[in-house]
Amino acid sequence: MKRDNAWPTYNDQDLEHLTHLTDDYINFISSNKTERECTTAAIKLAQAAGYKDLAAMRQAGKTLKPGDKVWATSHHKTVILAHIGNDSLEKGFNILGAHIDSPRLDVKQNPLYEANDLALLDTHYYGGIKQYQWVTLPLALHGVIARTDGSTQSVCIGESDTDPAFCVTDLLPHLGRNQMEKKGSKVVEGEDLDLLVGGRPIKLDDDAEDTPVRTALLKLLADTYHIDENDFLSAELEIVPAGRARHCGFDRSMVLGYGQDDRVCAYTSLIAQLDAATSARTNICILADKEEIGSVGASGLTSKFFENTIAEIMDLIGEPGELPLRGALAASDMLSSDVSAAFDPTFASVYDAKNSAFCGCGLVFNKYTGARGKSGSNDADAEYLARIRRIMDDDHVAFQTAELGKVDQGGGGTIAYILAKYGMNVVDCGVAVLSMHAPWEVTNKADIFEAYKGYAAFLKHTVSE
């Protein structure tokens, strides 16, 4: 089937809306490069749109009614927004679910060391990366330090023009013959991704230091950033590409930026949720942590946070109980808002062109993901896909269907299977991405716009009617 590019269909009003949306998106992903930063920004936007803290409402003895909007967060890394609809919650929800964590390098708990007059931080990569892509890039430190006195300190070093930047070094080609003969997975290994952070020794005195650069750096950290070496023990410091996302291409038709998997779907889902009017069904938007490592942990979707939040909402609206909760979840419909692999003509051999997502052709639906024999996938049923097709067609949303690549090339997973365990209808859909999981990824602005339109269309309909 022929896939039409969406750009020629836009009128001046569409282009104005697209430009506004994508400019705001570039600002969002430039300012928010960690799951904590995304959660904080999402809550701020939600509060400006009239959303209230669910925990505070319960503590104050408040109840919920149609039209109310609430938010809840887990460990400052996952957020759920709910816009209460007119129907009974037992009839189910419309759910948009995306993740806000991205591949990166994490600073280890005991990271700082000196070698040959250079100071470095030891790291552990997070999520699926090609290690060699992370060398010789300007990098920044984002995160939080928690101290034993209960205080916390946010960290963001490397983004301002006046900040220092950091990097991981690489071997010069003049000495790289043996390195270049290695497999791609071995060219730069995980334990070699140490961050270069200093090279100026402290002035030596009678008590000569064995590690003068490290000692000087610790003094600088204390004096300038109020960071003690012991603070690394209870810190979450993430190493990410430094610098703003950019318009890409002479025609500015694309976005080049870090973390677009999956913040391009998270942002468009968030804005669709905030823009939605009160509808028949209650609308839910989930922005989750830990997807890149299996959705594990207290802030991942395999925790009970989602289920507990829904139970609390149902209790405050006057529909408490285990059976109503189970019935509501089973009756729900979900779009697992996650990115798909865009067809790359440079690497065409790994794609099935008939079943690939193409840049500029709109929102991508993946009936299934997984690896090889669909292992680990949520395989959406035909009836649900037909109803979704009808909604997209009725609301003039450009969309396409795709797989991640040829059957035996590999694959990937999303959060879809986690919510599907409740019995609800779930299908993956999102934006096609070039250079996925690289430090800098590429998306097409038309696809970002169509994703927003598609998510907005989904929220205003009762899909299972």
Q: What is the CATH number of the domain that holds 212?
A: 2.30.250.10
Q: Answer whether residue 112 is part of any domain.
A: yes
> The tokens of 131 are what?
């290690």
Can you tell me the distance from the alpha carbon of 379 to that of 168, in angstroms, rounded to the nearest whole number?
A: 40
**b/e sequence 326-336, b meaning 16+ C-beta within 10 Å:** ebbbebbbbbb
Instruction: Flag whether the pTM goes above 0.85.
Output: yes
Q: Are residues 188 and 128 in the same domain?
A: yes
Rg (CA), the chain: 23
What is the sign of the dihedral through the CA atoms of 307, 47, 338 and 136? negative
Indicate the residue among 179, 210, 241 that finishes a domain: 241
- The total number of structural domains in the chain stands at 2
Nearest to 225 by CA among 320, 157, 147: 157
Q: Answer whether residue 247 is part of any domain.
A: no
Q: Answer whether residue 464 is part of any domain.
A: no
Indicate the residue among 241, 276, 304 that finishes a domain: 241
Q: Are residues 115 and 69 in the same domain?
A: no
- How many residues does the structure list for the chain? 465
In this prediction, residue 169 carries a pLDDT of: 97
Residue 139 contacts residue 168 (beta carbons within 8 Å): yes
Q: Answer whether residue 376 is part of any domain.
A: yes
In this prediction, residue 125 carries a pLDDT of: 97
Q: Answer whether residue 83 is part of any domain.
A: yes
Q: Are residues 232 and 380 in the same domain?
A: no
Neighbour tally for 82: CB within 10 Å: 27
Residue 360 contacts residue 254 (beta carbons within 8 Å): no
Q: pLDDT 10s per residue in the chain (465 long)? A: 677 999 999 999 999 999 999 999 999 999 999 999 999 999 999 999 999 999 999 999 999 999 999 999 999 999 999 999 999 999 999 999 999 999 999 999 999 999 999 999 999 999 999 999 999 999 999 999 999 999 999 999 999 999 999 999 999 999 999 999 999 999 999 999 999 999 999 876 655 568 899 999 999 999 999 999 999 999 999 999 999 999 999 999 999 999 999 899 999 999 999 999 999 999 999 999 999 999 999 999 999 999 999 999 999 999 999 999 999 999 999 999 999 999 999 999 988 888 889 999 999 998 877 667 777 778 889 999 999 999 999 999 999 998 876 676 666 778 888 999 999 999 999 999 999 999 999 999 999 999 999 999 999 988 766
In this prediction, residue 210 carries a pLDDT of: 83
Q: Are residues 273 and 421 in the same domain?
A: yes
> The tokens of 232 are what?
């690394």
Can you tell me the distance from the alpha carbon of 61 to that of 70, in angstroms, rounded to the nearest whole number?
A: 14
In this prediction, residue 174 carries a pLDDT of: 95
Q: Are residues 381 and 300 in the same domain?
A: yes
Quick one: 209 exposed, middle or buried, by C-beta within 10 A (0-12, 13-18, 19+)? middle
Beta bridge partners of 155: 143
In this prediction, residue 369 carries a pLDDT of: 79
Q: Are residues 265 and 190 in the same domain?
A: no
Indicate the residue among 210, 241, 272 that finishes a domain: 241
Please give the angle made by the CA atoms of 30, 411 and 351, to the nearest 5 degrees. 90
> The tokens of 307 are what?
């289920």
Nearest to 340 by CA among 306, 368, 319: 368
**CATH code (residue 89):** 3.40.630.10
How far CA 107 is from CA of 101, 125, 142, in Å, comes to 16, 9, 10
- Token pair 């896909």 in the structure block, residue: 385
Q: Are residues 86 and 124 in the same domain?
A: no
In this prediction, residue 203 carries a pLDDT of: 78
Q: Are residues 323 and 452 in the same domain?
A: yes
3-class SS at 148? coil
Q: Which domain holds residue 424?
A: 7-102+258-459
Residue 252 makes CB contacts below 8 A (sequence gap 6+) with 445
Dihedral of the alpha carbons of 307, 308, 309, 313, in degrees to the nearest 10: 100
Can you tell me the distance from the alpha carbon of 391 to that of 459, in angstroms, rounded to the nearest whole number?
A: 10
Q: Are residues 66 and 165 in the same domain?
A: no
Q: Are residues 231 and 325 in the same domain?
A: no
Can you tell me the distance from the alpha carbon of 269 to that of 19, in angstroms, rounded to the nearest whole number?
A: 17
Q: Answer whether residue 248 is part of any domain.
A: no
Q: Are residues 444 and 344 in the same domain?
A: yes
Q: Are residues 66 and 111 in the same domain?
A: no
Q: Answer whether residue 465 is part of any domain.
A: no
Q: Answer whether residue 2 is part of any domain.
A: no
Can you tell me the distance from the alpha carbon of 122 to that of 99, in angstroms, rounded to the nearest whole number?
A: 27
